[in-house]
């Protein structure tokens, strides 16, 4: 793909999806690892510290921290400091925006219609 076509594709994606391709890349990198998916699933129900996540998934602390950094970079995970502890939680709005934005790009009817109905209200 030459540079002009790449720029056209990126601007069309931005117009249709409301999100740039770099952000989609971050989302899919975050969703593209089974360990990160397990962390996302754990955080979908409650906030947890790194140590809580380490115990639940059976990975080392540095590995969990690396996964959390990728999830934070994609804005899928939020962090909140309470004294010396840091609690991580799922940014459900960002996950929803990613999923509906991607469906809009692919013009998948169900998700695109749901988002349009919300906008009309």
The pTM of the full predicted model, rounded to 2 decimals, is 0.66
Q: Structural domain boundaries of the chain? A: 20-120
Per the prediction, the chain carries an average pLDDT of: 77
pLDDT tens per residue, range 55-88? 999 999 999 999 999 999 888 899 999 999 999 9
Written out in words, the top-level CATH class of the domain with range 20-120 is: mainly alpha
- In angstroms, how far is the first alpha carbon of the chain from the final one? 40
d(CA 48, CA 44): 10
Q: Looking at residue 37, what DSSP letter applies?
A: H
CB count, 10 Å around CB of 55?
12
List of residues 6+ apart from 23 with CB closer than 8 A: 74
Quick check: 15 pLDDT over 50?
A: no
- Find out whether 105 and 17 touch, Cβ atoms under 8 Å: yes
In this prediction, residue 93 has a pLDDT band, given cuts at 50, 70 and 90, of confident
């Amino acid at each position: 793909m030459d540079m002009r076509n790449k720029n056209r594709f990126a601007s069309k994606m931005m117009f249709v999806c409301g999100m740039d391709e770099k952000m989609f890349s971050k989302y899919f990198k975050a969703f593209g690892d089974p360990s990160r998916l397990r962390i996302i699933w754990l955080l979908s129900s409650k906030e947890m510290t790194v140590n809580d996540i380490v115990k639940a998934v059976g990975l080392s602390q540095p590995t969990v921290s690396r996964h959390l950094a990728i999830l934070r970079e994609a804005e899928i995970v939020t962090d909140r400091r309470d004294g010396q502890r840091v609690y991580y939680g799922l940014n459900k709005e960002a996950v929803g925006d990613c999923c509906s934005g991607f469906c809009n790009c692919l013009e998948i009817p169900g998700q695109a219609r749901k988002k349009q109905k919300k906008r009309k209200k």
